[in-house]
Amino acid sequence: MHDVTHVKQTDSTRSAEAIVESQTFHKLMREKNRFIVPSIIFSLIFYFTLPISTSYFTFLNIPVAGDITWAWVLAFAQFFMTWMFCVMYSRRARRFDELVTAIKREEDDR
């Protein structure tokens, strides 16, 4: 059986520890969390609004135009929201990539 309590420190583990302790890495994680956490919370609330509202309330049955009700509007809005978050994340990911490149550059300079 392998004893994991005595791990040998290698260059790669020391390098990983240095990266995790760097200011740039902390900045990357702060920026990612500042975008991802609110996005997930909003998405979950927005997503579950439709099934909860249609299960317990009737206000989504009100017609908007012809036979199209607010339930259909909210359902299609979920598709729009998903596309918008994809676009927003793609744009924000460019900044994340710049920070990752900076982290790599800092590690190469050591």
Question: φ, ψ for residue 64 (rounded to 5)?
Answer: -95, -50
Q: How distant, in Å, are the alpha carbons of 14, 17, 31, 110 from that of 11?
A: 5, 10, 28, 12
pLDDT at 20: 86
Residue 103: which residues within 8 A CB-CB, separation 6 or more? 19, 22, 24, 25, 28
Tens digits of residue pLDDT in 46-94: 999 999 999 999 999 999 999 999 999 999 999 999 999 999 999 999 9
Q: 29 pLDDT band (50/70/90 cuts)?
A: very high
pLDDT at 7: 53
Tens digits of residue pLDDT in 7-22: 555 555 567 788 888 8
State pTM to two decimals.
Answer: 0.73
pLDDT at 40: 95
Over range 28-40, report the average pLDDT.
95
Cα gap 71→52, rounded to integer Å: 11
R_g (Cα) of the chain, nearest Å: 23
Q: Which two tokens stand for residue 97?
A: 């990539």
